[in-house]
């Protein structure tokens, strides 16, 4: 039917078209205004870590925000923290950064972190988080950190075939461990895979100290930084046990990244690795099955203990308008059930919110969760100092130096190293 519109129809039609077009532009702009760009500093660059980080990126983008990746390679995060400091000093902090433990308080003390109490309240974090973890995320009672997971550090990962080859059982005590290590060495298999980096040596020592001295000793030494304990006989025994492991490692360890040491166990080039359960993320990416291809066991002597390491993100006050929306989106996402399940299934850790079913998780994760709960009741739950959860960055770095030098020294005695640990505890 012909249009009965007056001659002005083209003008009117173009006005309508123009309005529609303008509305579309404004809608897009509005959406863009809502679509915040969030620059995220993290150090998850290994196979398993990167896969987990990609999940966070994808879920943030599904909220309409843009993830600007600011990955700084280097296991344990030392490199990332150095880069972060330069960015903050330059007055140009990233919107979000992977920071945990006392460093959260130190950054909050600089008044550079955005409080996220509104997100925590909306997400009921106080009722979902273990109290000792919630307190790490708060500064003067306000949430400034969003937790992601619970990693367990005191694990020993074992290649199942290698253990079968020597007809051994997973070692429960340190005497057992060295018997198994001797049998593996005799069979021509490198018993222990390790990367020659300070944080890996420190983490291995932290696990040995827990197994040799127990949780009460660990807390006296590393929570209270008690001088007599740090230089006492139990610490000397822990240091001797730690250094004894060296003879069961390979010469190619210098500078080796942790995930390449894990790959040695995955491929049977080595039999065992002391490492937190981010290592499980590497086994998963390699398609390995726990209980069949590899075993996850508590490190010798630490079956009733759990060294926790909780990854978290803080959100810096940034000048760019509109970013805050993306920061809050990300904070809420990190503690959401969907993200907690998907991320931790890949990362090797267990969810930090305590209300989730672990039905989709493997036996290592289920064991980790059961041990976390049990250790929480018996006093066996301890924070990892080697992974930024306990001592100040200054003391942690000083401990790294003492242990790294002791590990490579030809003649330093355990007592000399213990005395240096006591001195290092005074660093500030």
Token readout for 66 is 């843009």
> By C-beta, is 281 or 380 nearer to ligand GAL?
281
Min dist CB 49 to ligand GAL, Å, is: 5
Min dist CB 153 to ligand GAL, Å, is: 9
* Residue 114 CB-density burial (10 A; 0-12 exposed, 13-18 middle, 19+ buried): middle
How many residues are listed for the chain in this entry?
428
* Residue 283 CB-density burial (10 A; 0-12 exposed, 13-18 middle, 19+ buried): buried
Min dist CB 292 to ligand GAL, Å, is: 25
Token readout for 119 is 């997100």
Of all residues in this chain, which one has the CB nearest to ligand GAL in the complex? 75
Burial 388-413 (b: 16+ CB within 10 A, else e): bbbbbeebbbbbbebbbebbeeeebe
Whether 156 contacts 298, CB under 8 Å: yes
Min dist CB 415 to ligand GAL, Å, is: 30
* Residue 19 CB-density burial (10 A; 0-12 exposed, 13-18 middle, 19+ buried): exposed
**Residue that is written with structure tokens 């404004």 in the block:** 26
> By C-beta, is 79 or 409 nearer to ligand GAL?
79
> By C-beta, is 129 or 160 nearer to ligand GAL?
129
> By C-beta, is 187 or 260 nearer to ligand GAL?
260
Min dist CB 278 to ligand GAL, Å, is: 4
Token readout for 231 is 């230089």
> By C-beta, is 75 or 171 nearer to ligand GAL?
75
Angle between helices 337-347 and 47-62 (to 10 degrees): 160
Token readout for 1 is 């039917």
DSSP state of 321: T
> By C-beta, is 160 or 193 nearer to ligand GAL?
193
> By C-beta, is 43 or 107 nearer to ligand GAL?
43
Whether 64 contacts 35, CB under 8 Å: yes
DSSP state of 196: B
Task: Give me the residues that bind ligand GAL (CB under 6 A), please.
Answer: 43-44, 49, 75-77, 151, 258, 278, 309, 311, 387
Min dist CB 18 to ligand GAL, Å, is: 53
Min dist CB 169 to ligand GAL, Å, is: 29
> By C-beta, is 45 or 415 nearer to ligand GAL?
45
Alpha-carbon distance values, 60 to 279, 303, 310, 326 (Å): 25, 38, 21, 8
Supply φ then ψ for residue 264, to 5 degrees. -65, -40
């Amino acid at each position: 039917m012909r249009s009965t519109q007056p001659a002005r129809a083209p003008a009117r039609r173009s006005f309508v078209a123009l309005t529609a077009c303008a509305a579309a532009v404004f809608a897009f702009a509005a959406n863009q205004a809502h679509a915040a760009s969030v620059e995220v500093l993290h150090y998850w660059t290994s196979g398993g870590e990167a896969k987990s980080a990609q999940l966070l990126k994808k879920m943030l983008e599904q909220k309409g925000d843009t993830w600007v990746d600011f990955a700084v390679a280097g296991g344990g995060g030392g490199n990332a923290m150095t880069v972060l400091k330069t960015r903050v000093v330059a007055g140009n902090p990233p919107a979000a950064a992977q920071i945990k433990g006392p460093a959260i308080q130190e950054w909050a003390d600089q008044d550079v972190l955005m409080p996220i109490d509104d997100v925590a309240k909306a997400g009921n974090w106080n009722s979902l988080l273990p109290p000792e973890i919630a307190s790490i995320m708060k500064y003067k009672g306000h949430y400034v950190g969003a937790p992601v997971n619970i990693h367990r550090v005191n694990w020993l990962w074992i290649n199942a075939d290698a253990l079968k080859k020597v007809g051994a059982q997973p070692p429960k005590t340190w005497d057992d461990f060295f018997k198994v290590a001797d049998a593996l060495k005799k069979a021509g298999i490198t018993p222990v895979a390790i990367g020659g980096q300070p944080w890996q040596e420190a983490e291995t020592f932290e696990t040995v100290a827990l197994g040799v001295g127990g949780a009460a000793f660990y807390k006296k030494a590393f929570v209270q930084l008690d001088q007599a304990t740090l230089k006492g006989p139990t610490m000397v025994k822990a240091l001797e046990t730690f250094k004894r492991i060296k003879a069961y490692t390979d010469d190619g360890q210098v500078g080796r990244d942790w995930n390449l040491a894990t790959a040695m166990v995955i491929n049977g080039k080595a039999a065992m690795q002391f490492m937190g359960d981010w290592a499980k993320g590497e086994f998963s990416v390699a398609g390995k099955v726990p209980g069949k291809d590899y075993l996850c066991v508590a490190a010798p002597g630490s079956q009733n203990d759990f060294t926790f390491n909780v990854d978290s993100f803080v959100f810096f006050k940034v000048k760019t308008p509109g970013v805050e929306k993306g920061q809050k989106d990300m904070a809420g996402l990190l503690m959401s059930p969907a993200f907690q399940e998907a991320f931790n299934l890949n990362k090797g850790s267990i969810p930090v919110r305590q209300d989730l079913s672990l039905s989709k998780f493997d036996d290592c994760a289920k064991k980790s969760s059961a041990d976390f709960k049990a250790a929480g009741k018996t006093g066996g739950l301890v924070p990892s100092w080697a992974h930024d959860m306990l001592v100040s960055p200054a003391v942690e770095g000083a401990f790294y130096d003492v242990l790294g030098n002791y590990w490579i020294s030809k003649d330093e005695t355990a007592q000399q190293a213990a005395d240096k640990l006591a001195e290092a505890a005074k660093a500030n």
